[in-house]
Structure 1
């Protein structure tokens, strides 16, 4: 009976779902046998102390799934079709896994990404996070409410390129902030920069192709291009970004670059090198993906015009995002593509997810049109500039000339190198820092695993600061020094 499976202590608050699951398991386990009768709804209701309606609901679910047959005035019986119970049981541990496609295997075997437990650290210097207090919640809520109040005549799928209103607003914003000239038709709204990279990978790379990637680089860009079956060609960077003198002979179909603030080292590509990159792309019929991921944050340097703004830049695709200004949770980014490619990108976007969420697009358009977004960006630049100064001062006071700092002129992170501390101590340092309450991460995984990885022979950490207040930053640097002391004492 069902009672023996559920136990006497399980009767309190029993529902139709529990009765259904118990009967199903007993049927699959052979308790009743093929064409065997089940307890009647009246008998089972009395036994379990529930209403007949509850038992009937369980029977109806079993009937709908083909486990039982029911006749008027007779007890339910196990359906004769339920014969090979082994087919219905959970697969054994020795069962073969479902075969993935070549793309799926490349994704499955890619390097894992780090996860951090929320609220467990005193100061987490993880790059990419923003402080919740920085988000303009009241302004965003007002814009969302206004967008929701505009009732359309009917609900329909939107333009895969994105809201015309938002694309027009972005056209003006890009000209004001980056001197980038484009038409609204060239702009494709995407669900964050990651989807923009995915569309580029799908449209430009086939298995066996080659793509140029900075070394070190944004790891998820390398992974998403490699997932197509294309092979990376890592090109070293220096203080001026990607070394364009190494592009000859690569045979690459695509180059991914972060010229305005190289990720993660922070170099800014000068104009002559930018022209050489564009000339290489033009001569080899290649495409350049320009990721301008944090162009809003400039502290000690003036903005450099984007590649897309230079002459003969028809081979350049510009990628932008609001993840570093508003929130990464909103998943809004944009591509600026050459006129001849806008239809291909729109079709690829439509096949991927039809279009990005309409309400959020309208809300962002309203913020840009009213000048609210740019006012918020100025506020964020000031706040993150203060965080940056606090971090640099704390590092200088705590570590002195034992460290070298890179990439501090722009962006939301810095790279801190400890030239006298061998890299073999890095895993112990990162774990010790976590135990004392500080989250830090190595830049070593951002390098290609080939020959150039030998460049990282000492401890090198990437410290993001945009999610922390000044007190957390100061406390975090103090605790990092404490962790260093413990590791050096053990070495």
Structure 2
């Protein structure tokens, strides 16, 4: 067989790879029939103008992938494989354009008031890099095997200490499970809860992505309306749910803080019906001019509360690390039935965070960021007072990294957001967090985050937003 592939010496692709591709395409397309004897290494090297080592490397790759077979003392032959179309004549339809959207395109806006974006200018890069390096040196043996299924023990010890001291939890390291984010934590909880519970109650409105997880696992999600101080316990009692997902420290998205009296009623509901409360404390570290309230988990005497916290708001969402504190009833179920699930968080990052906490860097960083965000929070409220008309009301402004703007206007939420984007300002909708359709008479509410916006950009961003909206309020 004559085989004279065209190779390009000036290509970045090695010659043996070019030769491999040329022959594999011919075999796959059927142009080299099955059973055909290929040129010897010496013959092909001469015809292609390359060295014998190049041809031998190409043949070994073709042999390894099943394109050719070797017969002792006879040489190499094309394998009997099913032909497929040449990639140059690929007739597969292209993917729809909308599938190719990149997550994070909104970050290109200078005035991006996203509620989950954090301040990267004050991230402790040098300290974190040092902890990563030390973790690699000190725990080199960790790379030989999987870590603890629940997460590294020493990290869980540090977390338990911090949570007891800073978030009023009553917990031991044995109760903590390290995970990669809220959705993964909720998915895991769904697996543990589904045998005994089928209906989950959520605040209305409540975090849409959490609702999606429950629905994907086959739970029926029922909305429970909000009162001025949080979820309506009266409505919860009538809902038929035995699991409730709540954000008591800073209701998402409306921002109110659940008072102690209502927290006690919620705990009584769980105890009476054998229910489970999932407490998502997603940004409770940041409080402005208000006294901290105890966590539901810390008040729980009956073991009914699952507590979920994270490192996303105080540190970085890119770390993808959170933690779940299981009550004894679910911890027992986890230990008995879920040991086949290794921790999804890389051991290196866990060790680095362990060192970051052991050295005192974590709490120092939280205090620093609390001061920075409190200043941004004050600048935001002042900018709103300076530029927004009376038809705009601020809601939920004592905790966390976002506020709500309620706008007294005949325009829709979508129109307000689109108008803002046209002016170069990104703000975000509350609407997707409602389970049931809202009354058309309700005023639109807009989420305005401030964590990732530069202090000097906040006033200008709000001025542009007011200019985009003001004339039509």
**TM-score, scaled relative to structure 1:** 0.85
* SS of residue matched to 2:254: coil
Aligned to 1:390: 379
SS in 1 for 2:408: strand
Moved more, 63-72 or 467-476: 63-72
Deviation at 1:413, TM superposition (A): 0.5
Cα deviations across residues 105-146 of structure 1 (Å, max 9, x unaligned)?
Answer: xxxxxx999833276211211121112122112222233333
Q: How far apart in 2 are the matches of 1:456 and 1:191?
A: 40
1:287–1:316: 8 Å Cα contact kept in structure 2?
yes
Which of 415, 423, 426 is the matching residue for 1:439?
Answer: 426
CA contact (8 A) 1:161 1:346 kept: no
* 1:241 paired residue number: 230
Larger displacement relative to structure 2 (42-51 or 410-419): 42-51
Distance 2:442 2:3 in 1: 65
Residue 157 of structure 1 and its aligned partner are, at CA, apart by 3.1
Q: Which 10-residue stretch deviates more, 249-258 or 116-125?
A: 116-125
2:65 match: 65
In 2, distance between residues paired with 1:12 and 1:162? 43
- Cα separation, 2, equivalents of 1:376 and 1:168: 19
1-side partners of 2:13 and 2:90: how far apart?
A: 32
Aligned to 1:52: 52
Deviations 1:256-284 (A, max 9, x none): 00011100101111222212211221222
TM-aligned CA deviation for residue 422 of structure 1: 2.0
Instruction: Select which of 437, 451, 462 maps to 1:466.
Output: 451
Deviations 1:57-98 (CA, angstroms, capped at 9, x unpaired): 22222222222233467563322x32x42599999759xxxx
How far, CA to CA, are the matches of 2:110 and 2:25 in structure 1?
48
The structure-2 alpha-carbon separation of the partners of 1:144 and 1:21, relative to structure 1 and needing over 3 Å to count, comes to same
The offset of 1:389, in angstroms, is 1.2
1:468: Cα distance to partner?
Answer: 1.4
For the residues of structure 2 that align with 1:160 and 1:192, how far apart are their CA atoms? 16
Match of 2:397 in 1: 408
Counterparts in 2 of 1:369 and 1:63: CA distance versus 1, 3 Å:
closer
- Aligned position for 1:324: 313
Aligned to 2:469: 484
Secondary structure in structure 2 of the residue aligned to 1:415:
strand
Q: What displacement does 1:195 show? A: 2.5
Deviations 1:9-56 (A, max 9, x none): 997865322322222222122212232244554454455443332232
Distance change in 2, residues 1:484/1:436 (3 Å): same
Instruction: Give matches, 1:81-160, under 5 Å.
Output: 81-82=80-81, 84-85=82-83, 115-117=103-105, 120-151=108-139, 155-160=144-149
User: Which stretch of structure 1 is more off in the superposition, 148-157 or 59-68?
Assistant: 148-157
Aligned equivalents of 1:18, 1:462: Cα separation in 2: 54
Deviates more, 1:248-257 or 1:301-310: 248-257
Q: How many matched pairs?
A: 465
Q: Relative to 1, partners in 2 of residues 1:119 and 1:35: Cα closer, same or farther, differing over 3 Å?
A: same
1:172-251 matches, within 5 Å, as 172-205=161-194, 209-251=198-240
Q: Give SS of 2:201's match.
A: strand
Q: Is the 8 A contact 1:294 1:324 kept in 2?
A: yes
CA drift at 1:437: 2.7
Contact 1:175 1:181 in 2 (8 A): yes
- Once residues 53 and 431 of structure 1 are traced to their aligned partners in structure 2, the CA distance between those partners, rounded to angstroms, is 62
CA contact under 8 A between 1:32 and 1:78: conserved in structure 2?
yes
| Deviation by residue 1:362-415 (Cα, 9 ceiling, x = unmatched) | 333333344332121111111001111111111221112121111111000111
Secondary structure (helix, strand or coil) at the match of 1:85 reads coil
Q: Give SS of 1:34's match.
A: coil
1:347 to 1:49, Cα distance in 2 relative to 1, 3 A = farther
Structure 2, gaps ≥5 residues long: 94-98
Counterpart mapping for 1:289-300 below 5 A: 289-300=278-289
Deviation for aligned residue 1:204: 0.7
Residue 31 (structure 1) aligns with: 31
* 1:357 is aligned to 2:342: no
- Bigger shift: 64-73 or 232-241? 64-73
Deviates more, 1:166-175 or 1:385-394: 166-175
Contact preservation (8 Å) 2:7, 2:19: no
TM-score (norm 2): 0.88
Query: How far is 1:208 from its partner?
Result: 8.7
Asked if 2 retains the 8 angstrom alpha-carbon contact of 1:159 and 1:355, the reply is no
How far the C-alpha of 1:481 sits from its partner, in A, is 3.0
Q: How far does residue 207 in structure 1 lie from its aligned partner after superposition?
A: 11
* Alignment map for 1:266-305 (pairs within 5 Å): 266-305=255-294
How many angstroms apart in 1 are the aligned matches of 2:171 and 2:177?
12
User: Distance between the aligned counterparts of 2:161 and 2:441, measured in 1?
Assistant: 42
Q: C-alpha separation between the residues in 2 aligned to 1:248 and 1:214?
A: 13
Distance 1:173 1:9 in 2: 61
Q: Relative to structure 1, is the Cα distance of residues 215 and 47 closer, same or farther in structure 2, using a 3 angstrom cutoff? A: farther
Q: Pairwise CA RMSD of aligned residues?
A: 3.2
